[in-house]
Amino acid sequence: PDGTIVDVNIERFQISELLFDPSSMANGMGSDLNALYANTTSSAPGSLESVPKVVGDAIVRSDADMQTMLLSNLILTGGCACIEGLSERLKTEVERLMYLGGAPGYKTRMVSVGVSERALCPWLGGSIVASLGSFHELWVSKQEYEEFGTSIIDRKCP
């Protein structure tokens, strides 16, 4: 807002590369990474998974008859979805992982949402869910969270 011009070079690519190689973040974070994972259900610090690996794992863990449909309907939304070339890179990386995992016949299709709408899709989805009559059943109160911890999420949102 103050008109300051900031020159960036390779740094502009390094941030988005963390989506595909999160271990590069662990190398420079040290104890900060341990603090990040202190209260999560993740297996261990340094075990960050790439977005393509998370997508691939979710598909492989799904029913076999649903896997082709899931791979054919990947939707990229949110602020990061506006990164130029991200959709194509994600498609390529997921296909590569599926091939390496012994499923060479799978083809991935990214369902395109307009660039201007990608950043708004999570908010739109949230507003739709919030308007559902049954949404109140999914709410977690502070008291419930303090009593049961993160396990309350698994119970209320199976």
Beta strands in 6-158 (DSSP E): 74-75, 110-111
- Give the span between the Cα atoms of 54 and 94, in whole angstroms: 9
123: enclosing H helix or E strand:
helix 121-130
Query: What are phi and psi for residue 111, nearest 5 degrees?
Result: -80, 120
Is the pTM here over 0.85, yes or no?
A: no
Residue 121 near residue 78, CB atoms below 8 Å: yes
pLDDT at residue 45, rounded to an integer? 47
pLDDT of residue 111: 80
8 A C-beta contact, residue 152 and residue 144: yes
Which sequence spans correspond to the domains of the chain? 1-48, 49-119
Cβ neighbours of residue 3 under 8 Å, at least 6 residues apart? none
Fold topology of 49-119: Nucleotidyltransferase; domain 5 (3.30.420)
pLDDT tens track for 103-119: 766 778 888 777 777 77
Which residues of the chain fall below pLDDT 70?
Answer: 25-47, 104-105
Q: How far is CA 49 from CA 2, 13, 26, in A?
A: 38, 19, 11
Amino acid identity, position 128? I
